[in-house]
Amino acid sequence: MDNEFRKLPSVDKVLSDKRVKLFQERYPHDSVLSVLRRLFEDTKVNISKGNPAPSFNELVESAVNQLNTLSTPGLRPVINATGVLLHTNLGRAPLSRETIEAMAIASRGYSNLEFDLESGNRGSRQVHIESLLSHLTGAESALVVNNNAGAVLLGLSALARRKEVIVSRGQAVEIGGGFRVPDVMRQSNAKLVEVGTTNCTYIKDYEQAINEHTVALLRVHSSNFKVVGFTSEVDIQEMTLLAAKHNLITLDDLGSGCFLDTAPFGLAPEPTVQNSISAGVDLVFFSGDKLVGGPQAGIIIGRKELVDKLKKHPLARTVRIDKVRLAGLAATLMHYLKGEAIQKIPVWRMMATPLAELEQRANLWAAALGNKGRVIDGESMVGGGSLPGGTLPTKLVAIGEPSKKKTPLIQQLAASLRQIETPVVGRISENMLLLDPRSVLPEEDKIVIKALKEQFKIIFREG
C-alpha cells in the first residue's frame, strides 16, 4: 500500500499540466488548488481501502472533470417531454413570459418593495399582492409567504398554539419529500385530533370531538392522492357551518390551489379557491407554483382579522417571500384578472392544447427519426401534487418496440438526450422511449427535433 501512495505525483506537478493550467487562466489559483487538494484527499482514502493509485493521466483527467463541474452551473434549463405537466423534479410550473419579465425587472435594481412612494415612509411588501388576491377570490385579506407548508405552519402557530385542531384521519397526509401534515402541526405546537377513518369521515365525527380546547376544524385536500371505493368525506360548507355553530375557525389547506374550473379540460373537478371563500372558510392555504402556474409561494387568504394575526406573528418574517417571486406571482395573478390565463400561463396552455395540434407536432418529431420513430396514443398527467389520477389524451413519439427486456440502445438514447446542452427528458415504458409534446412548449420544438436527429445518429451508428 505504501508503494501505491508513493506513486502519487505532487499537487504542483498536476497544477503544472497544461490541461489544468487552462483553468488557472479563468479562475483564482486558490480555487483550482482547493479542488486538487480535495481530489488528492479522496484518492488517498481510496488507496487506503486497498485500491491501486491512479496514473498521472487519470489523475489529471479527474481534476479536469471536477474543475469542469465546478465551472458549469448545476441548475440548467431542460425540456420536459415526460408528459407530466407539473413535474416536481423538473421545477413544476413553467412561467409565462410576462411573469419572467416581471421577475427580471424586480432583480435588476431597486424597487418600492417596502417603501410607500406617496408618504415616503416604510411600507409592506404584501400591499403589492393583497388587493390582487382579494379581487380574484373575494377574500377580505391575503398574505403570501415562501411556500404552502410555511403558510400552514404560520397559520397553525399563530392561531392554534397549544390548542386542538380537528382533522379527518384520511387527511393526515404526507405532502412529499417525507414532510407530513402531523409533523407540520407538531412544529406549530398545535395538537392534532384525528377523527373518522382512513376512508370514511362524517360531520358527526367532528362534532363529537369538539371540546373546550378545540380552536379549529381543518380540511386537507387530497391534491396528491386519491381514495376510491367505499368512501365518505365532509363537504367544506358542512364544516364551516359546524365551526360557526361552535365559534371555531375553519382552515382549508388546498395544497395545489386552483382558480379555474378543470372540468372543461376533461379532468375531474378540482375545488377552487373561490369556492372555499364563498363556502365561508376563514383561512385558505395553497401553493403558487402548481395549478396557479406561478413561482413558488404559499398563499393565505381569508378573514382580515385572522390574516392580520398571521402578519404580526414572529414566524411571518422567517417564511416571508422575496421580491423576485412576489413580482412574478403578481404578474401571474394578473393573467387571471385579465381573463387570459389559458392563453398565457404555460400549464393551462398545455392542458388546453387540442389533440390534433399535438399529433401534428408529434409527427414532426417522429420525422426526425426516420423510420425508427412512430406516433402512438397516450396520456399526459398534470402531476406536481395536483389532480391525482387525472390524465389528458395525448400523442406520443415512441422509439423502440414494446419489450420485457431492457433495450441498451434505447437506454443509451434516453441518457444521451439528458446529457446535451439543453437536455431533453422523456420517459421509458416497456423499454420504449416515449416523448410527449403536451408538456413541451411549441417554441421548444426546434430544440427537440435537432436533439433527436443528432443523438439518434450518434447512438444508432455506434450501436
What is the pLDDT at residue 452?
A: 92
What kind and span of H or E run contains 452? helix 445-462
Query: pLDDT tens digits, residue range 34-76?
Result: 999 999 999 999 999 889 989 999 999 998 888 888 777 778 8
- How far apart (Å, rounded) are the C-alpha atoms in residues 445 and 438? 11
The average pLDDT across 362-374 equals: 90
- Residue 117: all three cell numbers together: 412612494
Lowest mean pLDDT among 1-5, 178-182, 190-194: 178-182
What is the pLDDT at residue 455?
A: 87
Reduce the DSSP state of residue 152 to 3 states and report it: helix
Q: Quick one: pLDDT band at residue 449, thresholds 50, 70, 90?
A: very high
- How far apart (Å, rounded) are the C-alpha atoms in residues 270 and 259? 9
- Residue 6: all three cell numbers together: 508513493
What is the pLDDT at residue 243?
A: 96
Handedness of CA 127, 108, 298, 183 (dihedral sign): negative
The pTM assigned to this predicted structure is: 0.86
What is the pLDDT at residue 338?
A: 97
Backbone phi and psi for residue 347, each to the nearest 5 degrees, phi listed first: -65, -35
How many C-alpha atoms does 12 have within 13 Å on its Cβ side? 0
- How far apart (Å, rounded) are the C-alpha atoms in residues 279 and 277? 5
For residue 277, pLDDT over 80 is answered with yes
Reduce the DSSP state of residue 96 to 3 states and report it: coil
Which residues touch 88 (CB under 8 Å, ≥6 apart)?
A: 176, 383, 384, 385
Strands (E), 65-197: 79-80, 141-145, 164-168, 174-176, 179-180, 191-195
Q: Is the Cβ–Cβ distance between 234 and 168 less than 8 Å?
A: yes
Sorted by where each starts, the structural domains of the chain and their CATH numbers stand as 2-71 (no CATH), 79-88+347-462 (3.90.1150.180), 95-344 (3.40.640.10)
What is the pLDDT at residue 179?
A: 57
- Residue 271: all three cell numbers together: 375545488
Amino acid at 217: L
What is the pLDDT at residue 385?
A: 61
Amino acid at 177: G
Q: Give Cα separations from 388 to 5, 70, 220, 345, 458 (angstroms).
A: 56, 39, 14, 21, 38
Among candidates 378, 395, 379, 377, which has minimal Cα distance to 387?
379
Q: Give me the chain's average pLDDT, please.
A: 90
User: When comparing pLDDT for 340 and 4, which is higher?
Assistant: 340
- Residue 185: all three cell numbers together: 402541526
Longest dimension (CA), the chain: 82
What is the pLDDT at residue 407?
A: 75
Backbone phi and psi for residue 308, each to the nearest 5 degrees, phi listed first: -60, -35
Query: pLDDT tens digits, residue range 215-241?
Result: 999 999 875 556 655 578 888 999 999
Buried b (16+ CB within 10 A) or exposed e, 272-297: bbbbbbebebbbbbbbbbbbbbbbbb
Strands 164-168 and 191-195, by their bridges, are: parallel
- How far apart (Å, rounded) are the C-alpha atoms in residues 453 and 451? 6
What is the pLDDT at residue 198?
A: 73
- Residue 44: all three cell numbers together: 488517498
- Residue 229: all three cell numbers together: 371505493
Task: Pinpoint the alpha helices (H) of 113-235.
Answer: 127-137, 148-159, 181-187, 203-209
Q: Is the Cβ–Cβ distance between 362 and 373 less than 8 Å?
A: no
Residues in the chain: 463
What kind and span of H or E run contains 208? helix 203-209
Residue 210 DSSP class? -
Among candidates 138, 104, 144, which has minimal Cα distance to 124?
144
